[in-house]
């Protein structure tokens, strides 16, 4: 039997037992992918991370698993892993290797403690979602106040704009139908200025609803800026997770223009709340 040590952290929050839960296995050398997948399913968090030796001159290489599949990139796993590794690596910028390339994470400290981090995400591709009515029907909403577009930064999300935050809170998806028509995440959102509320559903990934979705936050800022709801360079504050009893706060901004996106950044806090070990064959 082999002992695998892991940390649990709550991401996109500075308060334990809120935010999005994440398991980080800090030394996954020699662990086969099927064991990684089984451990992610056993824990049942939206994602679990397995840390390996770097291959592209980063500080570490990450493999990220939902309860049902491996994904090349996800936001809260990258940010949470940076917080977990920061003490050992003693660096204010970590370069974490993912299936979508090396993700830099800049860490802000208060004394020795890391309080906040900004990750630079892959710039997403954008496409119009064809025939969105099936998606709207599965969500149980009448329509979207902006075009429903698909943004892919390694994990794709479609964006459905609703009239108000109350409308977002009232969404009751048919998860079976949603899984059948949306092989990607679906982010419903509302807000104005720089304050937004979101809910993200991904039943096809084994995650009916996510408490905080970093990979969806950056593209949301880009979606808003491309459609004139936000100035390029301005940061938005996103609330998510209240309906799950896991309130979370994310920050996102996009530098550049609609024709030339220079940088997509997502920021937040995280707290380590537990450590443990698995014994596996």
The residues annotated as belonging to the active site are: 47
Number of helices followed by number of strands (H, E) in the chain: 6, 18
DSSP state letters, 241-253: -GGGT--EEEEEE
Let me know: does 36 contact 50? Beta carbons within 8 Å. yes
* Whole-number Å distance between alpha carbons of 208 and 178: 9
* Whole-number Å distance between alpha carbons of 62 and 265: 19
Cα torsion for 182, 238, 220, 263, to the nearest 10°? -130
* Whole-number Å distance between alpha carbons of 136 and 105: 35
Which helix (DSSP H) or strand (DSSP E) does residue 193 occupy? none
Radius of gyration of the chain (CA): 18
Let me know: does 50 contact 28? Beta carbons within 8 Å. yes
Let me know: does 10 contact 33? Beta carbons within 8 Å. no
């Amino acid at each position: 039997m082999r002992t695998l040590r892991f940390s649990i952290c709550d991401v996109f929050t500075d308060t334990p037992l809120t935010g999005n839960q994440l398991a980080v296995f800090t030394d996954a050398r020699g662990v086969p992918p099927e064991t990684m997948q089984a451990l992610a399913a056993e824990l049942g968090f939206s994602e679990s991370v397995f840390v390996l030796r770097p291959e592209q001159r980063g500080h570490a290489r990450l493999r990220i698993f939902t309860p049902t599949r491996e994904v090349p990139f996800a936001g809260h796993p990258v940010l949470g892993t940076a917080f977990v590794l920061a003490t050992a690596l003693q660096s204010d910028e970590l370069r974490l290797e993912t299936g979508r390339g090396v993700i830099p994470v800049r860490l802000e400290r208060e004394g020795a403690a890391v309080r906040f981090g900004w990750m630079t995400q892959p710039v997403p591709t954008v496409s119009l979602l064809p025939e969105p009515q099936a998606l709207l029907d599965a969500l149980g909403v009448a329509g979207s106040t902006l075009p429903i577009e698909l943004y892919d930064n390694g994990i794709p999300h479609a964006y459905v704009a609703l009239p108000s935050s109350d409308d977002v809170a009232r969404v009751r998806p048919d998860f079976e139908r949603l899984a059948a028509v949306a092989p990607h995440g679906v982010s419903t959102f509302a807000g104005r200025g720089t304050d937004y509320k979101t809910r993200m559903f991904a039943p096809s990934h084994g995650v009916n609803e996510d408490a905080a979705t970093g990979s969806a936050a950056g593209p949301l800022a880009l979606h808003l800026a491309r459609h004139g709801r936000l100035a390029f360079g301005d940061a938005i504050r996103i609330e998510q997770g209240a309906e799950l009893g896991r309130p979370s706060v994310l920050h996102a901004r996009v530098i550049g223009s609609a024709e030339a996106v220079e940088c997509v950044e997502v920021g937040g806090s995280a707290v380590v709340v537990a450590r443990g070990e698995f014994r596996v064959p």
